Chains A and B, each alone.
Chain A
Amino acid sequence: MSGAANPSLSLGSGMASHRRRLGARGILELVGIYAALVLVLLETIYPLLWVLFGSLKTKQEMLSNIWGPPSSLVFQNYVDAWRIAGMGSRIVSSVFVTGSALIILVAVATPCAYALARLRFPGRGLVLAVAVAAMLVPPQVMAIPLFMVARDLGLINNRLGIAFVYAATSLPLSVFILRSFFITLPADLEDAARVDGASRLAILIHIMLPLIRPGVALILIFGFIEIWNDFFLAFLLLRDPSVQTIPLGLVSFFQQYDSLWTLYFAALTITTLPVIVVFIAMQRQFIAGLTAGAVKG
């Protein structure tokens, strides 16, 4: 490949032999790159495969056959893991908490971002400054007072309550992202609708919202990964086992039954595989979404 790119260098030793030498070096380089990439692949994918294999082995085989695929498939592990770890109710909790939080987040952040991007009013600079400053305060550092506020409001062990907390902690970044999307839209669009007598809210919902769908998708992806995977705030605010989300359920399952290795791997597979499948299906949007903001900013 690099031989073709460098024909101008072939002086002296003769074109053909030089190209062959460069070609050999190019091939060597390619082999090196692929070897390195296969190594990366091995260290990321093999541990996951190992969990998948382990989840289908018997406990004896787990010790006698550490590396390879299972000799026979023990699907009973999944049935037992599902029952013992109470996966059903954990999944319901996670879906409810994540879903509610994302709905609240979009409903609250969108009009706020629109106002900051499009309306002129006194105090706009202040609101914007507060949003930026809040991004410097990670919610983890105020876990203790947050716990107390939630307690005073009766929101401990309340799944809708923690959904509001999640929406609040994702709010500053989401407002900031959505605002940058609103700013890029041309003003004439809106002015035309205003001349026709449309209200601000109608403009926001019917004209602007469809145009900033990529921005909404971005905060949904960010929010989903954060909230679905969160352990810390859930650990802080959801103390009753009956309302716990998947990450909490996994940890308590692990701590109670740490000798049930194979079930344990089955539970890990049940919770990890769906997210990986969703990721693989939408990886283009995922990766573009997560990195676009960073690189442009």
Chain B
Amino acid sequence: MSTRPQEAAPSASRFGRFLAGDGAVAFVMILPAAILFCLFYLWPFVNGFWLSLHNWDGFSDPTWAGFSNYQRLAYDRIFLGALRNNLIFVVAVVVLKNVLGLGLALLLNRALVGRTFFRAAAFIPVTMSFVAVGLLWSWIYNPVFGLLNGALDLFGLGGLKQSWLGDANIALYSIIVVDVWKWLGFHAVIYLAGLQTIPSELYESAKMDGAGPVQRFWHVTLPMMMPIVFINTILGLSGAFVRNFDIVYVLTKGGPNHATEVVLTYMMSKAFQDGAMSYAAAIGYVLFLIVGLASVGLLALMRRQRLDV
């Protein structure tokens, strides 16, 4: 934000002032971004709402449908199941990523030999694609020669062997583990960066007051880390709602019998297997509303919290 002297003559017209000042330059500089944004962001967003208010298979003439697509969603058992799975997924991964991420960061926040090495190792899954991670884990979970059942046998826990992705009662949780595995290093590294901003005098004076390690964690570390907890929660939350298609598609395709169906996998199968384009667009809108409300709610909470601190 630079303040510069007024260059244009004050008597010029509005448009003239706009051109003589920075307006014309700014217009030219923003134009490419504006075109790209309108074409592939704004237009689909608006068009999607229009689509959701019609019945259209994508080829014949669209007919007006009002809000009937949304009304049908309210009674669609598979959709409601997918929504429920999606919420379980979001809550589970956000909690696990935060708790385990902070735990790992606390381990790494010491003058240890090989700290950089451990940090890098924990971060490697973050750089892998969801597809590679999903495929890797489909082999780990393989009931015949998978790593997991093999490990259980090795430790004499053969009784716990499962069909990890085939059993409708546990498949969703198996997928949750994979998502946490992929992102743990990312959240740990953010927590680690946050931990390093806490002034050591705070710990010194807490020690002086006789606080043990556990008390120091609850009364110094955690309160100081609240902004980072919020950041990690927001990052995890928006990701968990809309970045689960790849992993679910690769591991189970939503099965067995919709047990791991999430909103995006259901939307895609409605659109491209059943050709119900407008119904699928309505699903996308409902998901947008949920993600938007969750993010805005969390941001509002964060802002209030900051004022209180």
A117 proximity list for chain B (CB < 8 A): 1
A118 proximity list for chain B (CB < 8 A): 1-2
Q: Are B47 and A148 in contact (CB under 8 A)?
A: yes
Chain A contacts with B in 43-78, Cβ cutoff 8 A: 43-45, 47-48, 50-51, 54, 62-63, 66-67
Q: Are A108 and B32 in contact (CB under 8 A)?
A: yes
Out of A169, A204, A290, name the residue touching B186 (CB < 8 Å).
A290
Out of B43, B249, B277, name the residue touching A149 (CB < 8 Å).
B43
Which of B116, B125, B185 has most A Cβ within 10 Å? B125
Measured CB to CB, the nearest residue on chain A to B245 is A232
Out of A149, A232, A295, A297, name the residue touching B39 (CB < 8 Å).
A149
Q: Are A44 and B124 in contact (CB under 8 A)?
A: yes
Per-residue interface assignment for chain B, residues 67 to 89, with 1 indicating a CB less than 8 Å from any chain A CB and 0 otherwise: 00000000000000000000000
**B10–chain A nearest beta-carbon distance, Å:** 15
Interface size class of A (residues with CB under 8 A): 35 or more
Q: Are B130 and A231 in contact (CB under 8 A)?
A: yes
Which of B2, B3, B245 has most A Cβ within 10 Å? B2
Q: How many A-B residue pairs have CB under 8 A?
A: 272
Measured CB to CB, the nearest residue on chain B to A239 is B272
Q: Are B30 and A112 in contact (CB under 8 A)?
A: yes
Q: Does A115 contact B (CB under 8 A)?
A: yes
Question: CA of A212 to CA of B285 in the docked complex: distance in angstroms?
Answer: 37
A247 proximity list for chain B (CB < 8 A): 129-132, 246
**B200–chain A nearest beta-carbon distance, Å:** 11
Q: SS class of chain A's interface: helix, strand, loop or mixed?
A: helix
Q: Does A190 contact B (CB under 8 A)?
A: yes
Question: CA of A183 to CA of B124 in the docked complex: distance in angstroms?
Answer: 33
Q: Are B124 and A187 in contact (CB under 8 A)?
A: no
Measured CB to CB, the nearest residue on chain B to A151 is B58
Out of B21, B36, B246, name the residue touching A171 (CB < 8 Å).
B36
9 A-B pairs with the lowest CB-CB distances in the bound complex, closest first: A229-B129, A145-B48, A187-B2, A168-B40, A112-B33, A111-B29, A119-B22, A145-B44, A247-B131
Q: Does B128 contact A (CB under 8 A)?
A: yes
Of B161-169, B214-222, B290-298, which binds chain A?
B290-298
Q: Does A82 contact B (CB under 8 A)?
A: no
A236 proximity list for chain B (CB < 8 A): 268
B residues contacting A by CB (< 8 A) are 1-4, 18, 21-23, 25-30, 32-34, 36-37, 39-41, 43-45, 47-48, 51, 58, 104, 107-108, 110-112, 116, 118-132, 135-140, 145, 147, 150, 154, 181, 185-186, 189-190, 193-194, 197, 228, 231, 235, 238, 241-243, 245-246, 249-250, 264, 267-268, 271, 277, 280-281, 284-285, 287-288, 291-292, 295-296
Q: Are B245 and A287 in contact (CB under 8 A)?
A: no
**A237–chain B nearest beta-carbon distance, Å:** 11
From known contacts A33-B110, A229-B129, A297-B231, infer whether A280 and B18 are also in contact, taking CB-CB under 8 Å.
no
Q: Does A165 contact B (CB under 8 A)?
A: yes
B23 proximity list for chain A (CB < 8 A): 121-122
Q: Are B48 and A142 in contact (CB under 8 A)?
A: yes
**A175–chain B nearest beta-carbon distance, Å:** 7
Question: CA of A136 to CA of B295 in the docked complex: distance in angstroms?
Answer: 7
A297 proximity list for chain B (CB < 8 A): 231
